[in-house]
Amino acid sequence: METLKIFGGNTLNGEIEVDGSKNSFLPIMAASVLCDGEIVLKRYPNLSDLIIMREILGTLNISTHVDGKTLYIDSRNSENKKITHDLTQKVRASIFILGALLGKFRSAVIAYPGGCNIGERPIDIHLKSFRTLGCRIIERHGYIYCYGENMKAGEVVLDFPSVGATESLLMCACVLEGETIIRNPAKEPEIVDLQEFINSMGGNVKGAGTDKIVINGVKSLHGTTFSVMYDRIVAGTYLLATATCGGHVLVKGVDSRHNSSLLAYLRQTACQIDVFNDKIELKADKRLSSIKRVTTMPYPFFPTDLQAPMMTLQSVSQGVCFLEETIFENRFGHVFELKKMGADIITKNRIAMIRGVDRLFGADVTATDLRAGAALVMAGMKAEGYTTIHNVDLIDRGYEKIEEKYALLGADIKRITI
Ligand code: EPZ
C-alpha cells in the first residue's frame, strides 16, 4: 500500500509541463473502436484510468502499446464482446465503449458502469439519447443490452449537457448514415478534441463547443495520428497549488482559454497572473484574499473537477468564501479531511462556507476521489508539520507521479510504500 508523506511550508517555484488530458484520452481511446486501422495518439500520460481503458480495448481484440508519451492502437481486428462488470466497475468512462460499439457493430452488451464517491452517476441521458435514434435497449441483471440495427440519424435534445452522454452520442452517430443533431450538448474542450479526432479519421462532425453539434454519418473511418489536448484540470490544479503555497510557477503546454473561469476567479485574489501563448505564469507572494462566491457549472464556467483544489486555497485565504457544487450531489468528501487539518468549513447540502484560517496543521488524511486527493496534497504542502495521505491510488488515476512533479517545484513530498 502506498501513501504520500509531505512536510509542509515550502513555496513552489519553477516550470512544469502538463501532459495529455485524461478526460480527452478516455473517449478518444473508446472512439478508436470505430475505425479499421492503426491510431497513434501523442501526449499519452501514464495514468491508471488509461491503463484500464487499454484493458477494455484488449477484450475487444484491439491491441495497444505505449512508447514513451505515444499510445499505439490497432483496431483492424476488433470484435464485439460483452463488457463485463469487473471492467466497468474499475473506470466509469467504460460507458463510452457503449456508443462506440453501437456505432461499429450496431449492438452492445455492457455492465452498468461504476458510480463513485462523488455521486450516483446515472446513465439515463446516454440511454435516452440512443433510444431517440431508434436503439432498442433492455436493462436486466445489471447489464444493458442494446440492439441498434434499426437506428437512424435524427435530432437529440439532452436534458442536461452531460459530457459523457454527448461523447457517447458523437461516437455512435458519426458512422450512422444521415444527419444527426445534438442540442444542449456539453461544450467542454474535450468534446471539441473528440470531434477533431473523429474528423481526423475521416468523420464529418461540426459544432462541438457550441449549443448545436451537427454530425453527418460516414460509412467508415480510417486510422490517424493525433495529438490529444493538454489536461486543463491538471494545469488548473498546479495553478491553485501555487496560489495556496505561495511562489512563482510557469505552467507550460496549456490553452489558457480552457481555464478562463479559474483565471477570472484567481484574479480576484491578488495573485499575479500572466498568460502567453501556451503558458500561464502565476506569482503569489502573500496571503491571498478569499473569493466571496465560487460556483461549479458546465463549461465554460468553473469546472467541478477544480472544486476541491479551490476549496483548499479558500481554506487558507483571508476572508469567507461561499462555494456551491452544482454538478455532483456528493462531492464534499475532502471537507472532513481538510477540517482534520484545521480548516474552518461548514456545509449544508451542496454549499460550503469556508472561513480562511492563518494556518493548517499536518495530519493523516484520506483521499475520497482523485480531485479530493489532489486538494489534500495541496493542503499538506501548505500545512505546518507532516501530512500523510492515504488512498494514493485514487490520485494516480488522474495525476501522473504527482509527488515528483511537486518535488521538482520545491515541495518536500515523498511516496512511501508500506
Ligand atoms: C465527465 O464525467 C468527467 N469524466 C468528470 O471528471 C467531470 O467531473 C464531469 O464530466 C463533469 O465535467 C470524464 O470525462 C471521464 P456528466 P461524466 O455526464 O461524463 C448527471 C474527473 O475527476 N448525469 O457531465 O460522468 C451526473 O450524475 C471526473 O476527472 C445524469 O444524471 O459527467 C452529474 O450529476 C470526475 N445522467 C451530471 O449529470 C446521465 O446520463 C454531470 O455528469 C449522465 C450524467
Helices (H), 177-325: 189-200, 232-245, 260-266, 307-315
Give the mean pLDDT of 78-92.
91
Tell me the percentage of the chain whose pLDDT exceeds 70: 100
For ligand 1, mutation pick of 21, 22, 23 (most atoms within 8 Å of CB) = 23
Specify which residues 412 forms β-bridges with: 7
- Between CA 393 and CA 48 the distance in angstroms is 8
- Between CA 377 and CA 245 the distance in angstroms is 11
Whether 277 has a pLDDT exceeding 70, the answer reads yes
Protein residue whose Cα sits closest to atom 38 of ligand 1 = 162
Task: Quote the pTM value.
Answer: 0.97
> What is the CB < 6 Å shell around ligand 1?
23, 26, 93, 119, 121-126, 160, 162-165, 186, 303-305, 327-328, 370-371, 398
Judge contact between 39 and 73, C-beta under 8 A: yes
Q: Over the stretch 138-174, which tens digit does the pLDDT of each residue have?
A: 999 999 999 999 999 999 999 999 999 999 999 999 9
Q: Which three cell numbers stand for residue 133?
A: 435514434
- Between CA 231 and CA 66 the distance in angstroms is 19
Helices (H), 14-154: 22-31, 48-59, 85-90, 96-105, 124-132
For ligand 1, mutation pick of 132, 162, 169 (most atoms within 8 Å of CB) = 162
Taking the centre of ligand 1 as the mean of its atom positions, its distance from the CA of residue 121, in whole angstroms, is 7
For all residues of the chain together, what is the average pLDDT?
96
Domain ranges, ordered by start, for the chain: 2-18+232-417, 22-227
pLDDT for the residue 53:
96
For ligand 1, mutation pick of 137, 170, 327 (most atoms within 8 Å of CB) = 327
Taking the centre of ligand 1 as the mean of its atom positions, its distance from the CA of residue 410, in whole angstroms, is 34
Q: Over the stretch 196-225, which tens digit does the pLDDT of each residue have?
A: 999 999 999 999 999 999 999 999 999 999
- Between CA 197 and CA 379 the distance in angstroms is 37
**Within this chain, domains 2-18+232-417 and 22-227 share the same CATH topology:** yes
Taking the centre of ligand 1 as the mean of its atom positions, its distance from the CA of residue 94, in whole angstroms, is 13
pLDDT for the residue 115:
59
Taking the centre of ligand 1 as the mean of its atom positions, its distance from the CA of residue 199, in whole angstroms, is 24
- Given the candidates 3.40.50.720, 3.40.50.1360, 3.20.20.10, 3.65.10.10, the CATH classification of the domain at 22-227 is 3.65.10.10
Q: Which three cell numbers stand for residue 154?
A: 435524427
Taking the centre of ligand 1 as the mean of its atom positions, its distance from the CA of residue 175, in whole angstroms, is 24
Q: Which of 116, 146, 271, 321 is catalytic?
A: 116
Q: How far apart are the first and last CA of the chain?
A: 5
Whether 74 has a pLDDT exceeding 90, the answer reads yes
Q: Over the stretch 292-325, which tens digit does the pLDDT of each residue have?
A: 999 999 999 999 999 999 999 999 999 999 999 9
Tell me the percentage of the chain whose pLDDT exceeds 90: 94
Give the mean pLDDT of 260-268.
96
Whether 332 has a pLDDT exceeding 90, the answer reads yes
- Given the candidates 3.65.10.10, 3.30.420.40, 1.20.1250.20, 3.10.180.10, the CATH classification of the domain at 2-18+232-417 is 3.65.10.10
Q: Phi and psi dihedrals of 40, rounded to 5?
A: -120, 120
pLDDT for the residue 1:
86
Protein residue whose Cα sits closest to atom 22 of ligand 1 = 305
Whether 338 has a pLDDT exceeding 70, the answer reads yes
Q: Over the stretch 23-68, which tens digit does the pLDDT of each residue have?
A: 999 999 999 999 999 999 999 999 999 999 999 999 999 999 999 9
**Type and span of the H or E element at 355:** strand 351-355
Model confidence band, residue 190 (pLDDT cutoffs 50, 70, 90): very high
Q: Closest ligand 1 atom to the C-alpha of 186?
A: 24
Please count the other Cβ atoms lying within 10 Å of the Cβ belonging to residue 36: 14
Protein residue whose Cα sits closest to atom 9 of ligand 1 = 163
Taking the centre of ligand 1 as the mean of its atom positions, its distance from the CA of residue 22, in whole angstroms, is 13
Task: For residue 172, indicate whether it is catalytic.
Answer: no
Type of residue at 206: K
